[in-house]
Chains A and B, each alone.
Chain A
Amino acid sequence: MTALIIATVSQGLLWALMAIGVYITFRVLDIADLTVEGTFPLGAATCATLLTAGWQPIPAMLMACLAGCLAGVVTGLLTTKLKIPALLAGILTMIALYSVNLRIMGKANLPLLTQDTIFTLYSFGLDKATAQLAIGFIVVLLTAVVNYWFFGTEIGAAIRATGVNPHMIRANGINTDIMVVLGLLLSNGLVAVSGALVAQSNGFADVGMGVGTIVIGLASVIIGEVLFGTRSFKNCLISVILGSIVYRAVIAVVLQMGMPPNDLKLFTAILVAIALSMPLIQSRWRKFKKDRKAAN
């Protein structure tokens, strides 16, 4: 039981970086960015390939991050400079990344059996599960602190305002195109690091491991917001991280209850669809109740 909880929480933490990335595009920039479906395996592929080539885990992960940032910039330029709608721009990069990821790895699946990973190299004598939990916690804490600082700076505030009201921020002299590109860069960099962590945890990188990334990210964001609030930016960051953990817990529970693992993506999609339609359902329900009252 404890083992299951530790495993669930550490999975939640490793995926939380991805959820923060999705939060940055979906909530901060107000863009549904599908690039992440490609940058998650991109991060995994880059990291796994470099580890196999004898790199140390931390430099390998930094390269994975850089690759993710580049992918984000590509989507950003497609949507700002070439005026391709953001959703489509993300899809284009995502599809392109499928080929890129295959090229990086040279095959569809790259196992990490003998290589040192961040979890084995920095385990400090802890067993594998506890090491994952500890390292996951440290990485997430670091990411959260850096994000909190960054979005409080002038550039960070300008990115947030770009998502809320591009008219206002242009009228204040900010180039919104640059802010959109920066936001996508940061988001995809984080998602790639998440992919790199998950690959090291799973012991392999797979070209198909990005399928459903966006939906898992959205599920984490929405669960977090509903359960833990959205009062301030700090609150939102914490909510998203906890949301990612709760999502893993929900998955663990339904699997324990006997749901076939193949149905997980269907389950998650339905969960997110319901959550996203909540505002509409709520207002309909209120109107329905009011109308009934009026009719009586």
Chain B
Amino acid sequence: MLDIKHISKTFNPGTITEKVALTDVSLHLAPGEFVTVIGGNGAGKSTLMNSIAGTYPVDTGTITIDSTDITKWPEHKRAKFIGRVFQDPMMGTAANMMIEENLAIAARRGKTPTLRWSSSAKEREHYRELLSGLHLGLEDRLESHVGLLSGGQRQALTLLMATMAQPKLLLLDEHTAALDPKTAEKVLSLTKSIVERQHLTTLMITHNMRDALRLGTRLIMMYEGRIIVDVKEEQKKGLQVKDLLELFEKAAGSELTSDSLLLS
């Protein structure tokens, strides 16, 4: 499905702010795999995800989705394959457009826009059905501006938008980090049910170790721009937070102190 081979990324190379963010990262995802990603601040998790999404080009290496090499594709072209939810609830939706208009855009992800009127009565009915699945009462608010919604509602909507046109790959970058615990829990369980129902190949970054263990079929840990731990399905099942910490320390080496983990 997703095949990342030896990618590296350095920001601002050759300047005093030079920052190596990814070093020779390789990762292969089988179809339907749901991978949770953890690692301390600045470990390179977002950079990995943004490299896949094409927010910026990588320095070396290749990225392939279903045997299509997308390494040189611009961000908007990759969107044909990739659905995304960002950490910032503002990022995934257009605030001063209606819910219906946002959904219409997402329903056409990856298609060249035409001069057709943007949504028909039949489509609106379909949006209403999808929205009622979120259990947030949004199905009666198709014409409300998205800017009026709470952060949690916006993330749920973004999740719906990212998945309504079946993506080959779903990228979630700490998409519940900006929400209060109760709302975060709701959005997470929604994530789980959508991913399972649509058999989505998913990469989900989280700063919460318990969520990383609880959800998904595989877990990877990043440290200083590398993947240092990769736990597959069977092994992941019995794992506890303390096992995870142990794995991390062993893989990252002795220089690691517990407070440099930032993995609450």
Q: Is B190 an interface residue (CB 8 A)?
A: no
Q: A153 with B76: in contact, given A164-B95, A164-B97 (CB under 8 Å)?
A: no
Q: Mark B204-233, 1 if CB is under 8 A from A, else 0.
A: 000000000000000000000000000000
Residue on A nearest B53 in the bound complex, by CB: A171
Bound-state CA distance A150–B96 (Å) is 18
Instruction: Report A-chain residues with C-beta under 8 Å of the C-beta of B53.
Output: 171
> Given that A153-B115, A155-B114, A156-B118 are known contacts, is A173 also in contact with B94, CB under 8 Å in the complex?
no
Chain A residue contacts of B79, Cβ below 8 A: 170-174
Bin the interface of chain A by size: 20 to 34
In the complex, A155 Cα to B79 Cα: how many Å? 17
| Alpha-carbon separation in the docked complex, A167 to B102 (Å) | 13
How close is A162's CB to chain B, nearest CB, in angstroms? 9
Binds A, one of B12-20, B84-92, B193-201: B84-92
A153–B116 Cα gap in the complex (Å)? 5
Which partner residue on chain A sits nearest B107 by CB separation?
A: A172
Bound state CA distance, A152 and B100, in angstroms? 12
**Does A157 reach chain B (CB closer than 8 Å)?**
yes
Query: Is B116 a contact partner of A154 (Cβ separation < 8 A)?
Result: yes
Among residues of A, the one whose C-beta sits closest to the C-beta of B80 is A173
Complex: chain B residue closest to A149, CB-CB: B117
Indicate if A160 sits at the interface (CB-CB under 8 A): yes
Q: Complex formed: what's the CA distance from A153 to B102 in Å?
A: 13
Whether A158 contacts B113 by the Cβ 8 Å rule is: yes
Interface SS, A side: helix
* 8 Å CB interface, B106-152 against A: 106, 108-111, 113-118
Nearest residue, chain B, Cβ from A158: B113
Alpha-carbon gap, A174 to B102, bound state (A): 13
* B57 CB to nearest A CB, Å: 14
Rounded to whole Å, the gap between the CB of B80 and the closest CB of chain A is 6
Residues of A within 8 A of B (CB): 149-150, 152-158, 160-161, 164-165, 167-176
Tell me if B163 counts as interface (CB < 8 A to partner A): no
**In the complex, B33 has a CB within 8 A of chain A:** no
Q: How large is the interface on B (under 10, 10 to 19, 20 to 34, 35 or more residues)?
A: 35 or more
- Point out the residues of chain A lying under 8 angstroms from B237, CB to CB: none
| CB pair B114 A157 closer than 8 Å | no
A176 to B76, CA, bound (A): 8
A171 to B162, CA, bound (A): 9
B113 & A165 in contact (Cβ 8 Å cutoff):
no
- Within 8 Å by CB of A154, from B75, B76, B108, lies B108
Q: Is there an interface contact between A157 and B77, defined as CB atoms closer than 8 Å? A: no
Provide 7 A-B residue pairs closer than 8 Å at the C-beta atoms, listed in order of the A residue.
Answer: A152-B118, A157-B101, A168-B94, A169-B94, A171-B162, A172-B79, A175-B76
A174–B186 alpha-carbon span in the complex (Å): 30
Given A152-B117, A153-B118, A154-B115, A172–B97 Cβ distance below 8 Å? Answer: no
A167 CA to B89 CA in the complex, in Å?
Answer: 12
Contacts A160-B97, A171-B84 supplied; 13 other A-B pairs, CB < 8 Å: A149-B117, A153-B117, A164-B96, A165-B93, A167-B86, A171-B53, A172-B108, A173-B77, A173-B109, A173-B110, A173-B111, A174-B105, A176-B76
Min CB distance B160 to A, Å, is: 13
Q: How far, in whole Å, are A175 and B53 apart by their CA atoms in the complex?
A: 14
Contact of A165 among B74, B94, B104, B114 (CB under 8 A): B94
Tell me whether A161 and B94 are in contact (CB under 8 A): yes
A170-B76 in contact (CB<8A): yes
Minimum CB distance partner of B77 in chain A: A173
